[in-house]
Amino acid sequence: MMTRRAILLSILLLPLTGCLNHDQPRATAEHLQSRNRVAIVVLVDAAPRVDTIALQPTRSTHGRATLAGWDARAALQPYLAERLRGKGLTIVPLDYDPADFAAVYASSTAYPDPQRINEALRARAAQAQADLLVVLYRQVERDFVGTSIENLVGYGLVRHEGLAPQAYAAVGLEAIAVDGGAVIARADGLKAVPLPDTAWSDAYATDDTVAIEDAGAKAVADALTAALQGAALAAAQEAGLSH
């Protein structure tokens, strides 16, 4: 016979468990056999963020960076295509401009709202004769690099007061049936990668845009690429789209 404590615990856990199952559908072998022509769309921000997080939140800064030659789509799209091919899927080339789907974000720090662009995305994919869309969005997560109460948005560089700098990435992934719009898989991915101290500058402590042009630029680009690809892999594996 269950005790009152056990009954109460079961009641408290039931809504949480149901919510997790509902929010994170996973692609099955049957899904991928019937929908194996895949178009990829990458909608992460073009420019990385640069965050300094102080012990006193009012002293934290949140800026952007320009990095010569940096292309987030180029860092992600071929990598994700390789992972999907490993599951036996055929990649269908899709010509698109991320600006056409900017409505997925209500602001520069907002969570993605994929339903706002679902129909437009599927129409574009249907023209390319794809039957499955795999879309990568930026995600917003509570600080997973340190222990602050601040959010990390998308991807970029972060340095917590008293700690070494890191590159980070938070992405969301959805697999969408082109013909009906059903989301057959959804998952988030997070990744943090150490950044060499020599690639960080005190000039990055700003709420404005900073240019990264010195000898540390390659180290920054390499770390950002590793963080983005690591986050994308984590999401794809969780969604059942990668080994």
Domain-located, residue 243? no
Which pLDDT value is given to residue 23?
65
**Mean pLDDT in residue range 177-202:** 96
Is 15 a residue whose pLDDT tops 90?
no
Which pLDDT value is given to residue 116?
97
pLDDT in tens, 79-110: 999 999 999 999 999 999 999 999 999 999 99
Query: What letter represents residue 159's amino acid?
Result: R
What whole-number distance in Å separates Cα of residue 130 and Cα of residue 179?
9
Instruction: Look at residues 88, 93, 111, 104 and name the one whose alpha carbon lies nearest to residue 188.
Output: 111
**Mean pLDDT in residue range 9-21:** 34
Domain-located, residue 218? yes
Is 126 a residue whose pLDDT tops 60?
yes
Which pLDDT value is given to residue 108?
96
Domain-located, residue 221? yes
Which range marks the domain in which residue 104 is found?
A: 4-238
Q: What are 151's two structure tokens?
A: 């959010």
Q: Strands 155-160 and 49-53, how do they pair? A: parallel
Higher-confidence residue of 11 and 204: namely 204
pLDDT in tens, 26-67: 999 999 999 999 999 999 999 999 999 999 999 999 999 999
Which pLDDT value is given to residue 24?
84
Q: What percent of the chain has pLDDT over 90?
A: 88
What whole-number distance in Å separates Cα of residue 36 and Cα of residue 45?
28
Which pLDDT value is given to residue 22?
42
Domain-located, residue 164? yes
Backbone phi, then psi, for 115, in 5-degree steps?
Answer: -65, -25
Domain-located, residue 128? yes
**Number of domains forming the structure of the chain:** 1
Domain-located, residue 195? yes
Which pLDDT value is given to residue 214?
80
**Mean pLDDT in residue range 129-147:** 98
pTM above 0.85, yes or no: yes
Is 236 a residue whose pLDDT tops 50?
yes
Q: Strands 209-212 and 61-67, how do they pair? A: parallel
Which pLDDT value is given to residue 4?
44
Which pLDDT value is given to residue 215?
78
